[in-house]
Amino acid sequence: MSSSEPAAHPTSGPGPATLPAGDPAAHATGGPGAPATGGAPIRPAGSVSELDPVVLPAIPPAHLTSGRVPTLQVTDRLHRGSQIVGRFETSGLAGFKVAAQGRALRVQVSLSADDRSVSGWHTGRTEASPLPRLVQIRSQGRLRQCVLLRGRKAHARVAFDLSPEEIPDDGLICVEALDITEGDGVCEEVRRAVAGRVAPDGVAGIRLDKVVFEEPPRSDYDPDTLDGSRCELYSLISAGGLANVNRQGPRALRSGMFLVNPVLKDRFGSSGRITLRLGTKAEAVSVIPATWRRVNSELRWLRHATRKLLHSAAPSVQRVLSVRDGDMGEVRQRVLGNITELELPSPSGSPLLVLLAPCPDAVPTLESGTSH
């Protein structure tokens, strides 16, 4: 398969289902690599003979960082990599054979964007959209979380639990990445709200860096309050992805929106209600001296500083929408000086999309989150 061809769909019927070929563009470096190679044939249940290779499932805890392993049995629009699981051509999925043995499993997925994360990357295109990407992560046919990726160095983490009833007898677990405009279970009101604010074909070129399967721990200890950056690290919110996973402190919300995701049982944000403290910060002053850009940036900084002195710099929430059910109506938000406290129910079956009003001369921030 050449790099200009789409990843093969899994075949069906009595014959073998052949794994699609690897793709050098899916290497972690994003650059040229070894020639693509085909995968071993996998026979569907009911047609196994002595001549068929035996595919051993991954045994939890399993950390998968390569797409050239038999455990990755099914791919759709995913170019396999050797140093990462693969890179999506467009909306697609990866199917893994895992030995769950009737147990619940915790699935953790690491995604990222880089210079090759553009629509048509597999045909040589390099032109990227300046808009953020809004991506659904689904598994076993259900929407689990959504991620917002902004820029070319954004990383995102997704975590969810699968019950024993959701894992079939053959152990095939599918992880699917879909653009927000695709698939069932997304309210049309949400799609209209983000139209023109997010990039089309948002999954194109996204890297699937790592997938982890493990048993959920019996109990987790989490603090009651986290700063904005760690709220994203815990996958409670998604506000554009983290370029530095070790960063702490407020999280800038440059896209003017963010997502609040369903979280793992007994983890931060699962207790019933969440209070998010939103603030603002001025853009950094331009370092180029004696230019109109520097003068304008200094004026914006002064105007924002004046608003803070007058305690009128708090941001405002325009709307909160359930990705599945639509507008949630009036939500409780309280202004305390330069901070807006937004109180939300802990999402359970669907992520929440929070749209912020424009902040003149400033960038909205998530200061912290508190789980009640």
Q: What is the pLDDT of residues 198-228, one digit of tens each?
A: 999 999 999 999 999 999 987 766 678 899 9
Average pLDDT, the chain: 83
- Does any domain span residue 2? no
Task: From 170, 200, 216, give the residue that closes a domain.
Answer: 216
Asked if the model's pLDDT at residue 15 lies above 70, the reply is no
pLDDT of residue 322: 96
Task: From 216, 251, 285, give the residue that closes a domain.
Answer: 216
Query: How many contiguous H segments (helices) and E segments (strands) does the chain have?
Result: 3, 22
pLDDT of residue 270: 80
- Does any domain span residue 3? no
Say yes or no: 279 and 207 in one domain: no
The angle subtended at Cα 283 by Cα 279 and Cα 284, nearest 5°, is: 130
pLDDT of residue 301: 63
- Does any domain span residue 7? no
Say yes or no: 202 and 285 in one domain: no
pLDDT of residue 362: 85
Say yes or no: 203 and 245 in one domain: no
Range scoring the smallest mean pLDDT among 51-60, 321-330, 358-367: 51-60
Q: Region 121-125: what's the mean pLDDT? A: 88
- 349 or 11, greater pLDDT: 349
- Does any domain span residue 10? no
Say yes or no: 240 and 178 in one domain: no
In contact, 344 and 260? CB cutoff 8 Å: yes
Range scoring the smallest mean pLDDT among 118-127, 142-151, 239-248, 295-304: 295-304
Query: Residue 92 CA to chain centroid, in angstroms?
Result: 14
Say yes or no: 122 and 151 in one domain: yes
Beta strands in 167-243 (DSSP E): 172-179, 207-214, 225-227, 237-238
Say yes or no: 162 and 240 in one domain: no
| Residue numbers of the domain that contains 109 | 17-216
- Does any domain span residue 116? yes
Q: Region 116-136: what's the mean pLDDT? A: 91
In contact, 252 and 281? CB cutoff 8 Å: yes
Range scoring the smallest mean pLDDT among 23-37, 135-149, 169-183: 23-37
Say yes or no: 202 and 319 in one domain: no
In contact, 365 and 253? CB cutoff 8 Å: yes
Instruction: Tell me how far apart the alpha carbons of residues 18 and 15 are, in angstroms, rounded to a whole number.
Output: 9
- Does any domain span residue 174? yes
- Does any domain span residue 309? yes
pLDDT of residue 348: 84
Confidence class for position 86, pLDDT limits 50, 70, 90: very high
Say yes or no: 231 and 325 in one domain: yes
- Strand partners for 94: 75, 175
Task: From 189, 216, 243, give the residue that closes a domain.
Answer: 216
pLDDT of residue 200: 92
Q: pLDDT for 164-173, tens place per residue?
A: 999 999 999 9
Say yes or no: 365 and 285 in one domain: yes
- 241 or 9, greater pLDDT: 241
3-state secondary structure at position 178: strand
Say yes or no: 201 and 248 in one domain: no
Say yes or no: 30 and 171 in one domain: yes
pLDDT of residue 147: 97
- Does any domain span residue 204? yes
- The total of structural domains in the chain comes to 2
Asked if the model's pLDDT at residue 310 lies above 80, the reply is no
Report pTM: 0.81
Q: Region 343-347: what's the mean pLDDT? A: 92
In contact, 178 and 135? CB cutoff 8 Å: yes
Range scoring the smallest mean pLDDT among 10-19, 44-53, 119-128: 10-19
Say yes or no: 176 and 35 in one domain: yes
